[in-house]
Amino acid sequence: MSITATIISILAGSYAFINSWGYIGIFLTSLITSAVVLPFPGFIMVFSFASVLNPFVLAFAAALGGAIGSLTSYLIGLGGKELLEKRYEHKLIEMRKTFKKYGSFLWIIVANLTPIPDNLMSAFCGIIRYDFKRYFLAMFIGKFIFALLISLAGYYSINWVVDYFNLESYFATLVV
């Protein structure tokens, strides 16, 4: 499948999804893609939704869904802590101190400023029993900043993407 066909497929599916679900749809998409590692990156939906929905509200919905979805990995880390603690208790204590010493809150935010899945960071925070409220707040802030950048990029450039790949005629057939 060519890159143009892939983009058409994603944008067409997004367009139909937007009409049906709106902000709730992006919340659910972010929740699901953050809860498990899927081969579909949710930020593509944020990019394409931004042409129709308010980019700030869209970023909020995506960040909230993503932060809640990431709790799955955090809870898995909490559960795995007992298994690891028996064998590596000293190392875990050392890792926790180091993580807190070098700005753990900021590192959680930074880890969410990329499209790379954050499941490992979430599991690690669970393993070291990082404060839940601070974890969730940092996760939300990082996801919000990332979603806002992506939604603003989509808001200001989606017309360019449609023109560049000559997608206008394709979307005209969807509307009719």
- What pLDDT sits at residue 13? 66
The distance from CA 64 to its chain's CA centroid, rounded to whole angstroms, is 9
Angle, vertex CA 89, rays to CA 117 and CA 103, nearest 5: 50
CA distance 62 to 30: 5
Cβ pair 91, 127 in contact under 8 A: no
Residue spans of alpha helices (H) in 50-131: 55-101, 104-111, 119-127
pLDDT over 70 (residue 18): no
- What pLDDT sits at residue 151? 94
Which has the closest alpha carbon to 23: 66, 48, 44, 54?
A: 54
pLDDT band at 146 (very low <50, low <70, confident <90, very high): very high
Average pLDDT over the chain reads 81
pTM of structure: 0.78
Average pLDDT over residues 25-34: 88
Cβ pair 143, 63 in contact under 8 A: yes
Cβ pair 61, 29 in contact under 8 A: no
The crossing angle, in degrees rounded to 10, of helices 3-35 and 168-175 is 60
Domain ranges for the chain, please list them. Answer: 3-175
